[in-house]
Amino acid sequence: MHILILWISLIFSPGFQERNQLIITKQKVLVQGYTSLGKFNCDFEILGKVDTLNFNSRGTQKIMEFQIPVKNFSCGNFLITSDFRSTLKADEYPYAKVVVKNFREKSGKIFCHLSVNLVGKRLEFPDLMLEKVPDGLSGKLILNFQMLELTPPNKFGGLVSVEDQLDLEVVLGI
């Protein structure tokens, strides 16, 4: 009888049950690009906005939506930051919009539908896999300037050029 009670208490304890919820306290977007001189990193982070994600919930699914002021991206160097903002046409398209929805867990992996609206182009990623990282969830994808109908910038008559590939990472942190 004691074994049965112990077994039931273990099954219904919070540590044993599958965790279908995550409290998000920050959203971060990281962009990594490559030039003929090396790589550059630009990022934007929203802190203090608390949200709860439910996985595999029945009924209405949670939608996380955030707008990123393109002029708030920081690349660690004012020249690179200025070129980055100029390339993304910050004056014409002052905001990038990111929508993350349809969170679901399959075979221990978390997937979502990611939509990115940047420079007037909407890109859809319906089955983006999110990796569990120590401080939350991370989704990575590769974009290129062609997808956004942009031309990679170059400087000094082509001596310094930016490669077509951009690595984008969306982090939903706890």
Residue 100 lies in a domain: yes
Asked whether residue 63 is domain-assigned, the answer is yes
Q: What percent of the chain has pLDDT over 70?
A: 83
Q: Is residue 44 part of a domain?
A: yes
Q: Which residue has the higher pLDDT, 12 or 43?
A: 43
Least Cα distance to 130 among 167, 170, 89 occurs for 170
pLDDT at 46: 86
In a domain, 84, yes or no: yes
Q: How long a stretch of residues is the chain?
A: 174
Q: How far is it, in rounded angstroms, from Cα 170 to Cα 130?
A: 9
Q: Distance between CA 61 and CA 103 in Å, rounded?
A: 8
Mean predicted lDDT score pLDDT of the chain: 82
Residue 16 has pLDDT above 70, yes or no: no
List the structure tokens of 35.
């030039």
Calculate what percentage of the chain has a pLDDT beyond 90: 39
4 part of a folded domain: no
* Phi-psi sector, 70: left (phi>0), alpha (psi -120 to 50), beta: alpha
CATH number at 165 reads 2.40.128.110
> Considering the domain boundaries, does residue 132 fall inside one?
yes
The tokens describing 39, both together, are 């790589």
Whether the pLDDT of residue 95 is over 90: the answer is: yes
Task: Let me know if residue 12 belongs to a domain.
Answer: no
Q: What is the pTM of this model?
A: 0.79
Indicate the number of domains in the chain: 1
Instruction: Tell me the β-bridge partners of 56.
Output: none
Instruction: Please give the structure tokens belonging to residue 2.
Output: 């004691």
| In-domain check, residue 24 | yes
Containing structural domain, residue 112: 19-173
Of the pLDDT bands very low, low, confident and very high (cuts 50, 70, 90), residue 54 is confident
More confident: 23 or 55? 23
Look at residue 149 and tell me whether its pLDDT is greater than 70.
Answer: yes
Q: What is the rounded CA–CA span in Å between residue 66 and residue 104? A: 20
The residue assigned the tokens 């910038």 is 153
Which residue is it, tokens 């993350």?
100
> Helix (H, G, I), strand (E, B), or coil: what is residue 32?
strand
Give the CA distances from residue 31 to residues 19, 43, 140, 165, in Å, rounded to whole numbers and listed in that order.
30, 6, 10, 10
Better pLDDT: 134 or 8: 134
